Structure 1
């Protein structure tokens, strides 16, 4: 009898979504009531935010662009953007980014958005797998597209943005995290988690002795 009880106790249900019902919908996003079965076999509900703009040919909503500006005899710079984000109610410091349009690849979207937001033309060197952004709230996904920008190219000497309300901020790759911290102390804005996590990882990789110790 005890063996049967132990077998039942160790048996787990494969969690899965049963159905999704629209609670509210707008032009760009909607709120769903998601009914699912958890690993114990219990049926539960969740509130899920979804974009309405995802294209049928891709599992990705958009791209994040990690663009490095290279110039001869100069330091390398990370290209960031500052813009007002209504959900936050303030300005944010982010990587250039954008949604994938119909019949676009992640690479095409990245180069298009980079040109629109910053004026720079670049070359794609790597594309990440599809990644989730905030899985506890939304099914939104993104891909990181790494881009090299030749700052000595005539097209990049005086870049012209196509979007009016975005400021381009160039921060040196060397000491990237320190420069972000300094910028946040001077300006009233919030840094995107992806930018800051990248800065911490970069610091840990290039100058591990300068990474602040974590208190236990």
Structure 2
């Protein structure tokens, strides 16, 4: 793809510098010569792990999400730390949030979570080689999660009930459904 619709940045105003995100407002030159404003959230990136237990259950965590004003079930995920490789973040988040670890992590894909206003790139990994951590890892001080292990069928039901209601987890379920159908082909 080429940038025939590129919007050239004329000016950037930093509005907020937070712990997780930064907000800026850009004045941009549109392809038609007009000028417009774009509100942009800068994010360091994140990882998510599609983790399957030996019993073929999907590892999920329940977490309260303030922007939604509700708890939802999600695959384990977390923010990249400055200079940290995504694979390292994936293992760290898996261990902290679930009590599991793995020595076999397979890269699945990466995608932008909300390209209309944010630059967050999410890296997705898969593992079905879980083992309990030897030493319990500590969650962030402001993080509270509960572990769930569901079958694919149970998880699909939770999507319909909006207990699973985020794109990375819905993507994970589609990935698993496709992976299972390919593995069961003659």
Q: What is the TM-score when the length of structure 1 is the normalising length?
A: 0.68
| Structure 2 residues without counterparts, runs of 5 or longer | 182-186
1:107-146 alignment to 2 at 5 Å?
Answer: 107-128=87-108, 130-146=110-126
Give the structure with higher Rg (CA). Answer: 1
Equivalent-residue separation in structure 2 for 1:182 and 1:128 (angstroms): 24
Residues 24-71 of structure 1 show CA distances to partners (whole Å, capped at 9, x for unaligned) of 3333323211222333332211112223xx3xxxxxx1211111222x
2:52 is the alignment partner of 1:68: yes
- Structure 1 partner of 2:147: 168
- Structure 2 partner of 1:180: 155
| Structure 1 residues without counterparts, runs of 5 or longer | 1-11, 55-60, 208-216
Counterpart pick for 1:195 among 161, 169, 176: 169
Q: How big is the alpha-carbon RMSD for the aligned residues of Structure 1 and Structure 2?
A: 3.0
- Structure 1 partner of 2:12: 20
Residues 170-195 of structure 1 show CA distances to partners (whole Å, capped at 9, x for unaligned) of 122xxx1x312434677x74521221
Residues 96-132 of structure 1 show CA distances to partners (whole Å, capped at 9, x for unaligned) of 0111223421111111110000000113432245421
| Cα contact 2:155–2:164 (8 A) shared by 1 | no
Counterpart pick for 1:91 among 59, 62, 71: 71
Q: Which has the higher contact order (CA 8 A, sep 6+)?
A: 2
- Alpha-carbon shift at residue 203 of structure 1 (Å): 3.8
- 1:33 is paired with a residue of what secondary structure? strand
- Alpha-carbon shift at residue 17 of structure 1 (Å): 2.8
